[in-house]
Chains A and B, each alone.
Chain A
Amino acid sequence: MQRAEIVKIINQFLAEEFEISESALVPQALLIQDLGIESLDFVDIVVIIEQEFGFKATREDMLNVKTLDDMYNFIASRV
């Protein structure tokens, strides 16, 4: 899967499901501080990763995902 496709899927999910403004979805955005994602939301991010990319991320994996770019990189490393 191309990185551009990963970016598109994740951004679309964050915009539609989490109702985050698309203009805020820049790679360096901090998930918690800038995008307002809270701990419970990571549970749903794990679900969407499994649905869209076919692998099971763990809560521990998520601890290292601080920025949107971290998330793209993490998914790219697993697909």
Chain B
Amino acid sequence: MSNVQKKELFDFIKNTRNKEEYKRALAVKQKIEGLSYRTIAKSIGVNYRNVYRIVDAYRQKRLNGIRSNRNNAGRIPKISSEKNKQMIKDIVINKSPKTFGYLKNTWNIRLLAKHLSKELRMNVSPMQTWRIIKELGIKYKRPKLALEHEGDYEEKKKVVDNYKKVSSALLKNGSFRI
């Protein structure tokens, strides 16, 4: 085994947060150090046959052989897929319910669930909608009321700000009297 491969393995042991991956990498490391299969099995708490399997997997696929596959397990999500999540985010943040023909100005969970059920042709519950919205980092909070400004607002604001800056100097000169 080359030094580069050894360093790669040691770094992997240091950085991994997965208990399963750590145990496998440790078994490979101990095998490199020259320990027997049965001793390794005892130290990491598995059967010696499993140690054979782990070392073989490492020989064939290197680090990919000892990485955990648990993240790939389970059914692929239908409603909360990445594509659907982006669509929901776009609807909630950028579009008003009025654009879809509802007589409301703001979204609520029930209305959104109803709309998504129609859009995705699946039964989307309000609870599931709430979970997706929470995962997207969307918050339910109060907007701010602001005044509409006319076209010359920025120009006039600059003029006023300039006067504010030079007001103390003008007062000293005597040309600016209150």
Q: Is the pairing of A and B real? A: no
